[in-house]
Every structure is written in structure tokens, then in C-alpha cells.
Structure 1
Amino acid sequence: MTKPIFQLKSIVKTVNEGTPEQLNILDNVNLDIYPGDFITILGSNGAGKSTLFNTIGGNLKPDSGQVIYNGKDITRMSVVRRTEFLSRVFQDPKLGTAPRMTVAENLLLAEKRGKKHSLVPRNLKSQMRKFKEITAKMNNNLDDRLETATGNLSGGQRQTLSFLMATINRPGMLLLDEHTAALDPKTSEQLMNITDNTINKEKLTCLMITHHLDDAIKYGNRLLVLHQGKISYDISGEEKKNLTKEKLLTFFNDIQ
């Protein structure tokens, strides 16, 4: 039987503790994530989606419970150490790249993420052919802008670069935090196609927060619905394949 690659065990995160406004923004969350899972996540504002990602990424430490990666307790592991196996793409295209560095320099930096650094030449020129091949697959002219400062790219090109940087080393876990939300519909669709192709081809394990019902239904093999800090629904298999927007909306109506 396949073992989970990642587990959340009885995770609780509380805010305003000891006051009338005390709230469990994660309320005894249990989640097993298996190798190759592509999990889409839906939930209203305040449901706990960002807190879930911050707990997985190490930005927040739970008040109780365990975070397990490949059988090892990483609950207290730092964000920096988690970059050895975990990558994240944020909603804001500006957050994933260094604006004054070129596209090629950003990709080179991403290749070294989570690895030990030493005083050796960066050998950027020797990597240019590979970077051109990688970026050419994006079909948005990013391959013609390898020597362009990232701050001068369009939002779509910059977010595509962020995605490339997050996946260039085939991470053990990939977190996509509404990574298409700031893009126009056409660019969003292009990036989602790239995302789906990459995840399936590389057999990545991925969690993706989205506010698009259509994307949550279309992509991935599992769908989670969060509500008030709990996983209200975990839909997979034939139920996920046969899921419709109307059926999904009934889930939200049931938990209101």
C-alpha cells in the first residue's frame, strides 16, 4: 500500500487565545497526501486556506499537532530547511522573483535553492541553452527575454517564471497559492495548461488553492473544501471525475 508523502495530524492553530474572539483557524485538521496527488482546494474567505499553506510551508507553527514529511516530523523545521523539498508560488507575481535580476539569473538561483552554497563560479553562460529550451515551452516569448530584468516582464511572464523556478528542481511538494488569480482570463488559462502538463509529466505532488470552481473541478485528482478551519469535503476518484459545478455548489450550501 502506498504511504503518504505528507501528513497533517490533528493540526490546531488558534488566534486571539483567551479572549472572546478566540478562534481555531485550523481546527483539528487531518490530511494524508500521497505521491502524485494533485489536490485543488476551495473555501470561502477565512476558511483556513492560507493558514493551511503557511503551516505546510513552515511560516506558521501549529499550536498542537504534527506535520510529517516522508515519515519524519518536521513540525518545527524552518522555512529555509523546507525549501530542500518544498516550493511555493504565490498569487502576486512579484513575490516569486528577484526584479533586478535577469530571467536567466532567476532560473539559476532557483536551481540552487535548498542546496549548500559554495564560492564557485556561477557558470551562467553554460546554462543558457537549457534555460532557453525550458522557457520556449511556455509559448509566451519568455525564451527571448532571458537577459531581461524580471521587473520588466509582463505579469503573465513573471508568474510563468515563478512557476518555472518552483518546479525546476522537481520539488517533493509544490504549493500553488491562487497562482493565476492576478492574471487576465487568457493568461490564466495558459498558465493553468502549463501547470497541469508539468504536474502530470513530472508526476509532482501538488496542492493548489483556487477560487475558480471550474479549475477546481477540471484539474487534479482530489478536491478539498475547507470551512471554518476544517476539511468539510475530500473528493476523489469517480466522485471527482463526475463532479459538476452544480453539485459543488450544493456542498457550499450545505456547510453555510
Structure 2
Amino acid sequence: MTTKEELLSLKDVVVSVNNGNELRPILKKLNLTINAGDFITILGTNGAGKTTLFNTIAGNLHPTSGQVLLRGQNIAQQNEEQRASFLARVFQDPKMGTAPRMTVAENLLLATQRGQRRGLRLRKLRQNRDRFREMCAEMGNGLENHLDTPTGNLSGGQRQALSLLMATLTSPDILLLDEHTAALDPKTSEQLMQYTMERINQNHLTCLMITHHLEDALKYGNRLVVIDDGRIEADYDAKQKQTMTREKLYDFFDETIG
């Protein structure tokens, strides 16, 4: 039996926010262990704590109490910049994650230096163009024809594809996908999910993906986690996922969350 390597774990994590009058807990002694190679899909109603969980993992929020352990080391107080060396995130909004006035090639060059002390060195742009064109061609949406196009002039699908490419360029230890297909039309969304799986498999990435699509939650990944009221309510492994259906998930939401 192969022993799984524990990559990241949250232990009794409490995250509270100030609503103006008092501190309100969003995550309530949440516990979650992520093993190397996991692809975890995450479901939960609005306000359940999904985005707060991602912000805590990414370093945008610091726990009020509890630990965030990366390979056993507590990184709870590290900020977003400190975590950029091992973590990447793709947001729901295609406008986030890319610099709109920079070209596609310039954005990709910037992504090669993720987590490093860097300045944008345009003199390296020419020598990377063939590599960038080849990577963009894999997206299947014509992105390779827009290396010199400012990112702000791309379609939403192309821009989100670029965000995914940038996030996975340096093979981060942890990839967070924050409803990254939600703003796209169904066809573009499906194409991006197919490419997402290719990048995850090719680079052997550890990934967490928030989604509101039950089909995607069941189809992708080796684990399915359900969050409600700041806690993990269910954590289905690959075998359990195989027995799940949309109807069973609806029943679970009605009984546990509704």
C-alpha cells in the first residue's frame, strides 16, 4: 500500500472577520488534509466559507487561531507574496491574474519568475517566443496568434486560458482554481476544463477547485469536499465519488445544508 505524502493541512483553523460591530467567525475550527497529487473539488452554498478557505490557504487571510502546515511547517502568518513560490491561483474573473496592458508574451514571461525577486526583462522575450507560442497552441483557442496582443484585448475565454497557463507554468506545489470556468459560456468552459486536466496530469499538480457545477464536482478529481457553515461536512474519496450522483448530492445539500 502506497503511503500518501501529506502536503498541506489546516488544523482547527478559525478565521473571523470584523463586520463593524464584532468579530464574526467564517471558518470554524476547520480541518482539512491535502495530500500530494490530490485533485479536490469543493462544493458549498454561498457564504459557506469556500473563498475564505482559499484566501487562508493563499495567504490573503491569516487564521485567528489554528495552523496551516506546509509539509509540517506552520505557514499561517506568511503573506500572499511569500506563498507565491509554491502556490498559484486562477480566479473566476478573467480580468484577474493578468496584466491588461502587457502582451500575452510579456505576461507569460512574468509568470516564469513567479515567487522570485524579479524585474521584467524584455530582452529575454525573443528567446522565449517559440516556447510561448507552442504552449499557447495547446490551448486550442488561437491564443498562439496573439503573443503581441495586449491581454486586455483578448476574449474572456482566451484571457482565462492565459491565466491558467501562467498559473501552471512553473508547476506550483498547490494550484487553487476559484470557479475558474464560471464566467465562460458552456463550450468555452468545457474546453478550459479539458485543458485544465491536461495541465494537472502533465505537471503532476496538487489542485483544489471550487465549483458550483455538480457535474464537474463528480467528474473531476479524486476527492470531493463539501463545506457548510465554515466546516467540512463531507470528504468523499475516489471510491465514494464513483457511487455519487447528482440526486444524492442534492439530497445531501437538502438534509445537511438546506
Would you say same fold, with TM above 0.5? yes
User: 1:186 corresponds to which letter in structure 2?
Assistant: K
With over 3 angstroms needed to count, the CA separation of the structure-2 counterparts of 1:23 and 1:174, relative to structure 1, is same
Q: Work out the CA distance in 1 between the residues paired with 2:119 and 2:19.
A: 44
Provide TM-score, normalisation by structure 2.
0.95
User: 1:109 corresponds to which letter in structure 2?
Assistant: L
With over 3 angstroms needed to count, the CA separation of the structure-2 counterparts of 1:131 and 1:17, relative to structure 1, is closer
Per the alignment, residue 15 of structure 2 pairs with 13
User: 2:39 corresponds to which letter in structure 1?
Assistant: F
Could you list the per-position Cα deviations for residues 68-121 of structure 1 after superposition, in whole angstroms to 9, with x for gaps in the alignment?
Answer: 112211000111010000000000000110011000000000001112326966
With over 3 angstroms needed to count, the CA separation of the structure-2 counterparts of 1:93 and 1:118, relative to structure 1, is closer
1:216-235 aligned within 5 A:
216-235=217-236
Q: Work out the CA distance in 2 between the residues paired with 1:119 and 1:140.
A: 26
1:102-251 aligned within 5 A:
102-117=103-118, 122-251=123-252
1:25-36 aligned within 5 A:
25-36=26-37
Q: Work out the CA distance in 2 between the residues paired with 1:123 and 1:15.
A: 43
Provide TM-score, normalisation by structure 1.
0.96
Could you list the per-position Cα deviations for residues 187-224 of structure 1 after superposition, in whole angstroms to 9, with x for gaps in the alignment?
Answer: 00100111112112211000000010100000000011
Q: Work out the CA distance in 1 between the residues paired with 2:95 and 2:10.
A: 29
With over 3 angstroms needed to count, the CA separation of the structure-2 counterparts of 1:119 and 1:113, relative to structure 1, is closer
- The DSSP-based 3-state class of the residue aligned with 2:176 is strand
Could you tell me which runs of 5 or more consecutive residues in structure 1 were left unpaired when the two chains were aligned: none
What is the deviation of 1:254? 1.5
User: 2:195 corresponds to which letter in structure 1?
Assistant: I
User: 1:12 corresponds to which letter in structure 2?
Assistant: V
What is the deviation of 1:151? 0.6
Q: How many residues align?
A: 255
- The DSSP-based 3-state class of the residue aligned with 1:101 is coil
User: 1:110 corresponds to which letter in structure 2?
Assistant: A
User: 1:27 corresponds to which letter in structure 2?
Assistant: K
Per the alignment, residue 94 of structure 2 pairs with 93
2:109/2:120 contact within 8 Å kept: no
Cα RMSD for the two superposed structures:
1.6
1:35-74 aligned within 5 A:
35-74=36-75
Q: Work out the CA distance in 1 between the residues paired with 2:74 and 2:128.
A: 36
What is the deviation of 1:3? 2.8
- The DSSP-based 3-state class of the residue aligned with 2:54 is helix
Could you tell me which runs of 5 or more consecutive residues in structure 2 were left unpaired when the two chains were aligned: none
